[in-house]
Amino acid sequence: MGQSCEQALRELYSFLDGALTVERRTVISAHIDECSECLDVFGFESELRQVIAMRCREEVPESLRMRILEVIQATILEIED
């Protein structure tokens, strides 16, 4: 389980950018459906993007991106425990 979580989170940005193949999207969607930890992270990130898109059309600031990565890393560590 830990490994598929790590994979899903690694492909988070590609997933949200629509940059994955249909096959990869299907695998990740199926994983999110049955994994609440990943659902939380994916939900958090896509919500964040919507907020940013509404406020401005700039790229996510580097500091904010680092904080998101920290949250993702923390989640991966929790899962691995």
Are 9 and 41 in contact by the 8 Å Cβ rule? The answer is: yes
Q: Which of 16, 27, 35, 60 binds Zn ion (CB under 5 A)?
A: 35
Cα(80)–Cα(61) distance, integer angstroms: 29
Q: Which stretch binds Zn ion (CB under 5 A): 10-18, 27-35, 44-52, 59-67?
A: 27-35
Considering the rule CB under 5 A, would residue 38 count as an interface residue with Zn ion? yes
Closest separation in Å from C-beta 76 to Zn ion: 9
Cα(72)–Cα(41) distance, integer angstroms: 7
Considering the rule CB under 5 A, would residue 5 count as an interface residue with Zn ion? yes
